[in-house]
Amino acid sequence: MSTFIRGTAILMVAVFMSKLLGFVYRIQFMRVAGEEAVGIYMTAYPAFIFFLSLVQLGIPIAVAKVIAELKVKGETAKLSAVMRTATFITIFTGAIFIPLSILFVPYLSETLLGNAASSTTLYVAIAIIPIASVCGLIRGYFQGIVRIEETAWSQIIEQLFRIVLITWLLPIALVPDNNPMNAAYAMGITLLAEALSAAYLWFKYHQHKRQDRKPLAKKERYPMEPLLSIALPSSGSRLFGTFTWFLEPIIFLRALSMAGVGAVAATSLYGIISGVLIPLLLFPSFIPYALSVVLVPAVSGAAASSNKKKLQERIHLALRLSALTGAFAAAVFYIHGQALAEKLFHITEGASYMSLLAPIFFFYYIQSPLYSILQATGDAKAGMMNSVYGGIAKLGVMFILASQPGLQETGAVLAIGFGVLVTSFLHIATLRKNKAAAAGFTMFALPYASFILTAVIRPIFIPIGQFGLLTECIITTVFLLVILLLFGQVKKSDLHMIKRLTKIY
Asked if 341 and 354 touch (Cβ cutoff 8 Å), the reply is yes
CA distances from 343 to 75, 266, 285, 337 (A): 55, 22, 21, 10
Q: Looking at per-residue confidence, does 2 or 441 come out higher?
A: 441
Rounded-to-integer distance, Cα 483 and Cα 475, Å: 13
Q: Is the pLDDT of residue 494 over 50?
A: yes
In 10 A of CB 241, how many CB atoms? 17
Contacts of 262 (CB under 8 A, 6+ apart): none
Rounded-to-integer distance, Cα 4 and Cα 262, Å: 51
Rounded-to-integer distance, Cα 116 and Cα 109, Å: 5
Residue (of 96, 105, 140) closest to 126 by Cα position: 105
pLDDT at 296: 55
Over residues 483-498, the mean pLDDT reads 74
Q: Which of 25-34, 38-47, 75-84 has the lowest mean pLDDT?
A: 75-84
pLDDT at 502: 43
Helices (H), 224-347: 224-258, 263-272, 278-281, 286-304, 308-345
Q: What is the DSSP letter of 362?
A: T
Rounded-to-integer distance, Cα 346 and Cα 381, Å: 43
Q: Is the pLDDT of residue 318 over 90?
A: no
Q: Looking at per-residue confidence, does 230 or 1 come out higher?
A: 230
Q: Which of 91-95, 147-151, 272-276 has the lowest mean pLDDT?
A: 147-151
Largest CA distance in the chain: 75
Rounded-to-integer distance, Cα 68 and Cα 428, Å: 32
The model carries a pTM of 0.84
Q: Is the pLDDT of residue 214 over 70?
A: no
Q: Which of 5-14, 102-111, 225-234, 304-313 has the lowest mean pLDDT?
A: 5-14
Q: How far is CA 195 from the centre of its chain?
A: 21
Asked if 18 and 156 touch (Cβ cutoff 8 Å), the reply is yes
Q: What is the CA radius of gyration of the chain?
A: 23
- Average pLDDT, rounded, for the chain: 84
Rounded-to-integer distance, Cα 292 and Cα 299, Å: 10
**Cα angle 267, 269, 270; round to 5:** 65
Rounded-to-integer distance, Cα 82 and Cα 137, Å: 10
Over residues 164-179, the mean pLDDT reads 88
Over residues 460-480, the mean pLDDT reads 92
Residue (of 221, 206, 241, 214) closest to 49 by Cα position: 241
Q: Where are the beta strands (DSSP E) in 334-432?
A: none
pLDDT at 99: 96
Over residues 136-161, the mean pLDDT reads 83
* Three-class secondary structure of residue 438 per DSSP: coil
Over residues 196-223, the mean pLDDT reads 76
DSSP code string of 50-68: HHHHHHHTTHHHHHHHHHH
* Three-class secondary structure of residue 129 per DSSP: helix
Q: Which of 5-9, 76-80, 198-202, 501-505 has the lowest mean pLDDT?
A: 501-505
Q: Where residue 499 falls among pLDDT bands split at 50, 70, 90?
A: low
What is the number of alpha carbons within 13 Å of residue 69 lying toward its C-beta? Answer: 9
pLDDT at 217: 47
Asked if 56 and 230 touch (Cβ cutoff 8 Å), the reply is no
Q: Is the pLDDT of residue 254 over 60?
A: yes
Over residues 392-412, the mean pLDDT reads 91
pLDDT at 2: 52
Q: Looking at per-residue confidence, does 444 or 152 come out higher?
A: 444
Q: Is the pLDDT of residue 478 over 80?
A: yes
